[in-house]
């Protein structure tokens, strides 16, 4: 969750704010995602407090409206715990932080929730939460792990704890995909595609839900503070297509304070 960046400087102005004759010197700026540095992200997030305020960039009060919007979005996908809806078997939450969404929503609608989060201090208490399965302390760009996860509370020995063949009915990705480059994101979404499976014959088709800020400019924006990009809606559409995913539903999150980036939910299926 972030406040919108103000665009600095005007087109065609030099450092003194005067119009300059420098057209020949103008160079194409680098693609915003090429500025992403994993070590800078990790150092930023290591300094953030392990609480809702830290996860939501100083806007803890939006958590309730955010979770309500997410729950309603899942109901439209046929996933929930009330009559006529399906509680699913296994969900993966990527970039889960302290498990705000896992604890506040996903363990309600899923028997088990596995978590991917690079900052180990964020997930320390999560392992005690009923319904939480494997915890992988790694970036999404490294997932699935090729060796045993650093923490696991899952005693399901029917598949190896590190098995990349573990299947999910739902994969929830929120406010973390800006930490991946475009190439890493497409590769990660392709790996997600490969581990989607239906819960049962009568259950809805498995889905990936992405919930992210949208840039309101016509290009993605790089944020040096946490080394992430805020992508445009058009860019997300293009990357989903490239990953071979079908967009089946998309909605804006309502009820967020003015001045924040618009937040959009995308439901993707194979
Ligand atoms: C804004 S917080 C959001 C946490 C959670 N999704 C939520 O909405 O409460 C961003 C999270 O992304 C994590 N993160 C940073 N780099 C990441 C990466 N390469 N892969 C996965 N998660 C990453 C951070 O550690 C942090 O927990």
Does the pLDDT value for residue 12 go beyond 70? no
Between 4 and 177, where is the model more confident? 177
Q: Which residues line ligand 1 (CB under 6 A)?
A: 41, 45, 55, 94-97, 100-101, 117-119, 122, 139-141, 174-176, 179
User: What confidence tier does 201 reach under pLDDT thresholds 50, 70, 90?
Assistant: confident
Distance 178 CA to ligand 1 centre (A): 9
- Domains of the chain: residue spans and CATH: 23-269 (3.40.50.150)
Residue with tokens 């819960």, as numbered in its chain: 199
CA angle 76/109/262 to nearest 5° reads 50
Residue showing tokens 């992430």: 228
Tens of pLDDT, residue by residue over 212-226, are 999 999 999 999 999
**Phi/psi at 40 (nearest 5 deg)?**
-70, -35
Q: Is the dihedral of CA 156, 161, 163, 167 positive or negative?
A: positive
DSSP assignment, residue 20? -
Looking at residue 26, its pLDDT comes to: 81
Position with higher pLDDT, 13 vs 6: 6
Q: Which atom of ligand 1 is nearest to the CA of 55?
A: 2
Q: What is the mean pLDDT of the chain?
A: 89
Which pLDDT value is given to residue 166? 87
What percent of the chain stands above pLDDT 70?
86
> Mean of the pLDDT values across residues 11-38?
69
Across the range 230-248, mean pLDDT stands at: 98
Q: Which residue, 168, 98, 109, is CA-closest to 137?
A: 98
pTM here?
0.90
Identify whether the C-beta of residue 120 lies closer than 8 Å to the C-beta of residue 96: no
pLDDT tens across 113-172, in order? 999 999 999 999 999 999 999 999 999 999 998 754 445 445 443 344 444 568 999 999
Q: Answer yes or no: are the C-beta atoms of 268 and 246 closer than 8 Å.
A: yes
Among 176, 187, 192, 228, residue to substitute to test ligand 1 (most atoms within 8 Å of Cβ): 176
Using the mean position of ligand 1's atoms as its centre, give its distance from the Cα of residue 116 in Å: 9
Q: What is the DSSP string of 73-136?
A: HHHHTTBSSSTTSB-EEEEEEES-TTTHHIIIIIHHHEEEEEEE-S-HHHHTTGGGSTTEEEEE
Cα angle value 62/66/68 (rounded, 5°): 120
Count Cβ atoms below 10 Å from residue 176 Cβ, excluding itself: 23
Nearest atom, ligand 1, residue 100 CA: 9
pLDDT reported for residue 146:
79
Q: What is the pLDDT of residue 157?
A: 39
Residue 9's pLDDT band (boundaries 50, 70, 90)? very low
Element spanning 54, H or E: helix 52-55
Percentage of residues of the chain with pLDDT beyond 90: 76
């Amino acid at each position: 969750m972030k406040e919108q960046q103000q665009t600095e400087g005007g087109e065609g102005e030099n450092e003194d704010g005067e119009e300059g004759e420098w057209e020949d010197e103008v160079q194409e700026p680098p693609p915003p995602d090429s500025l992403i540095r994993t070590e800078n992200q990790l150092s930023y997030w290591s300094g953030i407090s392990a609480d809702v305020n830290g996860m939501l960039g100083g806007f803890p009060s939006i958590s309730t409206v955010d979770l309500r919007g997410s729950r309603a979005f899942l109901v439209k996908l046929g996933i929930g715990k009330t009559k006529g809806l399906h509680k699913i078997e296994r969900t993966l939450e990527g970039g889960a932080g302290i498990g705000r969404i896992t604890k506040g929503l996903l363990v309600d609608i899923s028997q088990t929730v596995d978590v991917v989060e690079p900052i180990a201090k964020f997930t320390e208490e999560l392992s005690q939460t009923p319904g939480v399965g494997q915890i992988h302390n790694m970036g999404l760009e490294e997932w699935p792990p090729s060796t045993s996860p650093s923490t696991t509370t899952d005693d399901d020995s029917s598949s190896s704890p590190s098995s990349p063949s573990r299947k999910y009915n739902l994969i929830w990705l929120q406010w973390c995909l800006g930490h991946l480059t475009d190439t890493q994101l497409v590769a990660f979404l392709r790996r997600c595609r490969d581990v989607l499976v239906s819960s049962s014959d009568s259950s809805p088709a498995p889905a990936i839900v992405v919930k992210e800020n949208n840039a309101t400019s016509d290009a993605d924006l790089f944020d040096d503070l946490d080394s992430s990009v805020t992508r445009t809606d058009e860019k997300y559409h293009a990357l989903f297509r490239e990953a071979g995913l079908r967009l089946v539903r998309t909605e804006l999150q309502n009820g967020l304070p003015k001045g924040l980036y618009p937040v959009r939910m995308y439901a993707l299926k194979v």
